[in-house]
């Protein structure tokens, strides 16, 4: 069984770009580059927020555990994802130092083009709705300095629910068909009123998929390994409304995928990316963010370019 799984089970998994967004062979969709500048706090205080993300991903390089391109005539991948996020920051206080809130996200893969050079005999893909992500969070009040805020941070207990499109006969699905727990800590530090640095650090734990891909021949379940992933960014305010900076992300799987309780070696994923970004604030309630990411040193996943536009509105 195990040798069969290693031989035939290489490409089973999900593939979706979110920041909330990546494309994994085993790992579910996660936030890779979805958030960047001033991530430690919501921009306009308590109330309702709507955030819309559009992301385009291009790759011609699906790689193995050694970072080498898969042995197919082509490995050309392009997909586009639209994500809608609703956030609520309440007036419920915690020891007069923080407020409680809730996030809800739903992604939609509007385009999924995969060309393996074999009329998609080797790699089959589909578009559709991805998995809902929901999480309560604790937003701490900013620590103030003489010239304004110095530090602000937040904890969120995010859960990904298997509500999206999934077909075990497909190699690439919008849904991972398994629950995952992906809590994070986000923070922003002000070096001075114009210059900031932000990060968001996640720990990912995946539960079992009880209807694994056909590639895991005869298997009853598959459990993707645990991972750590993070976004990072720094920006400088050119004007009161316009910021320029650098943004990036990093992902590393830290435990092996298991199939029917057996560890499968050689499937751990990793990647990192960096690129330029910009943010324009129309007002304290409306913000537009654009990011580009150029991936490096991928293993067991695609390596390509990610472009994203994000709009934030506070009601």
Query: Is 132:177 a contact under the CB 8 Å cutoff?
Result: no
What predicted TM-score, i.e. pTM, was given to this entire model? 0.91
For residue 267, pLDDT over 90 is answered with: yes
Distance CA(134)–CA(106), nearest Å, equals 9
Mean pLDDT value across the chain: 92
153: Cβ contacts below 8 Å, ≥ 6 apart: 40, 41, 140, 185, 186, 187, 188
For residue 16, pLDDT over 80 is answered with: no
Strands 286-299 and 270-283, sheet pairing: antiparallel
Distance CA(272)–CA(43), nearest Å, equals 27
The predicted-structure confidence for 22-73, as pLDDT tens digits, reads as follows 334 799 989 999 999 999 999 999 999 999 999 999 999 999 999 999 989 9
The predicted-structure confidence for 65-106, as pLDDT tens digits, reads as follows 999 999 899 999 999 999 999 999 999 999 999 999 999 999
Distance CA(113)–CA(29), nearest Å, equals 17
For residue 9, pLDDT over 60 is answered with: no
Q: Report percent pLDDT > 70 for the chain.
A: 92
Distance CA(307)–CA(58), nearest Å, equals 9
What integer is the mean pLDDT of 174-196? 98
How much is the pLDDT for 4? 33
19: Cβ contacts below 8 Å, ≥ 6 apart: 31, 32, 33, 34, 35, 53, 55, 231, 249, 308
Query: Is 28:180 a contact under the CB 8 Å cutoff?
Result: yes
Sequence length of the chain is 315
14 — pLDDT class (breaks 50, 70, 90): very low
Q: Nearest Cα to 61, choosing from 302, 311, 305, 313?
A: 302
Distance CA(141)–CA(99), nearest Å, equals 8
- Burial, 177: exposed, middle or buried (Cβ in 10 Å; 0-12, 13-18, 19+)? buried
Query: Is 19:308 a contact under the CB 8 Å cutoff?
Result: yes
Which domains, ranges and CATH numbers included, belong to the chain? 2-314 (2.40.160.40)
Give the count of alpha carbons within 13 A of 43, CB side only: 22
DSSP 126-164: --EE--EEEEEEEEEPPEEETTEEEEEEEEE--EEE--S
Strand partners, 57: 79, 306
Residue 3 DSSP label: H
For residue 252, pLDDT over 70 is answered with: yes
Query: Is 230:183 a contact under the CB 8 Å cutoff?
Result: no
């Amino acid at each position: 069984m195990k040798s069969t799984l290693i031989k035939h089970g290489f490409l089973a998994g999900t593939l979706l770009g979110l920041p909330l967004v990546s494309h994994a062979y085993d790992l579910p969709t996660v936030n890779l580059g979805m958030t960047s500048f001033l991530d430690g706090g919501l921009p306009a205080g308590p109330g309702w927020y709507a955030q819309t993300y559009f992301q385009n991903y291009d790759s011609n390089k699906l790689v193995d555990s050694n970072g080498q391109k898969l042995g197919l005539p082509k490995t050309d991948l392009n997909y586009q994802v639209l994500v809608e996020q609703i956030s609520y920051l309440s007036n419920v206080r915690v020891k007069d130092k923080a407020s409680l809130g809730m996030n809800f996200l739903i992604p939609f893969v509007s385009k999924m083009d995969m060309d393996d050079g074999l009329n998609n005999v080797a790699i089959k893909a589909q578009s559709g709705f991805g998995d809902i992500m929901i999480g309560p969070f604790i937003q701490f009040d900013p620590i103030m300095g003489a010239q304004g805020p110095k530090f602000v941070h937040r904890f969120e207990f995010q859960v990904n629910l298997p509500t999206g499109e999934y077909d075990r006969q497909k190699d690439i699905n919008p849904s991972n068909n398994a629950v995952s727990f992906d809590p994070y800590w986000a923070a922003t530090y002000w070096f001075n009123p114009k210059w900031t640095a932000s990060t968001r650090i996640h720990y990912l734990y995946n539960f079992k998929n009880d209807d694994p891909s056909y590639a895991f021949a005869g298997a009853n379940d598959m459990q993707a390994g645990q991972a750590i992933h993070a976004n990072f960014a720094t920006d400088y305010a050119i004007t009161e409304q316009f910021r320029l900076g650098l943004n990036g992300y990093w992902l590393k799987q830290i435990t092996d995928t298991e199939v029917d309780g057996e560890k499968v070696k050689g499937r751990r994923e990793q990647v990192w990316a960096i690129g330029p970004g910009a943010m324009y604030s129309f007002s304290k309630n409306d913000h537009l963010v654009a990011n580009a990411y150029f991936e490096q040193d991928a293993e067991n996943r695609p390596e390509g370019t990610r472009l994203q536009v994000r709009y934030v509105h506070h009601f």
